[in-house]
C-alpha cells in the first residue's frame, strides 16, 4: 500500500537498516504507511513522494496551515 504514495529510489528494494526504525524490507508491500511517512519526514534519502502521496497525505495539512496563516495576516492588516 505504501508504494502508491512513495517510491524507493537509489537502491534496489530490499532490506535496509535505518537509523530511525531499524531494519525495514522495502520490497514488501506490508510496511506500515506511518513508518514510511516517518522516514520521509525525517529526511530518509531513499524515498520520494508520488503525486498521489502529495495530494492525499500532505495537501490537507498545507491547506489548514495556509488558512491559519491567511487568517493571521488579515487580522494584522486591520
N-terminal to C-terminal alpha carbon distance within the chain = 48
pTM (global) more than 0.85: no
How far apart are alpha carbons 54 and 26 in whole angstroms?
20
Identify the CA nearest to 35 among candidates 6, 69, 67, 62.
6
The predicted-structure confidence for 27-63, as pLDDT tens digits, reads as follows 999 999 999 999 999 999 999 999 999 999 987 655 5
**Per-domain boundaries in the chain:** 2-77
The predicted-structure confidence for 15-34, as pLDDT tens digits, reads as follows 999 999 999 999 999 999 99
Amino acid at each position: 500500500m505504501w508504494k502508491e504514495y512513495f517510491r524507493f529510489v537509489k537502491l534496489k528494494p530490499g532490506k535496509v537498516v535505518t537509523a530511525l526504525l531499524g531494519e525495514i524490507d522495502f520490497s514488501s508491500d506490508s510496511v506500515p504507511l506511518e513508518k514510511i511517512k516517518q522516514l520521509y519526514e525525517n529526511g530518509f534519502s531513499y524515498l520520494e513522494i508520488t503525486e498521489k502521496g502529495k495530494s492525499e497525505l500532505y495537501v490537507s495539512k498545507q491547506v489548514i496551515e495556509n488558512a491559519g496563516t491567511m487568517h493571521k495576516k488579515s487580522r494584522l492588516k486591520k
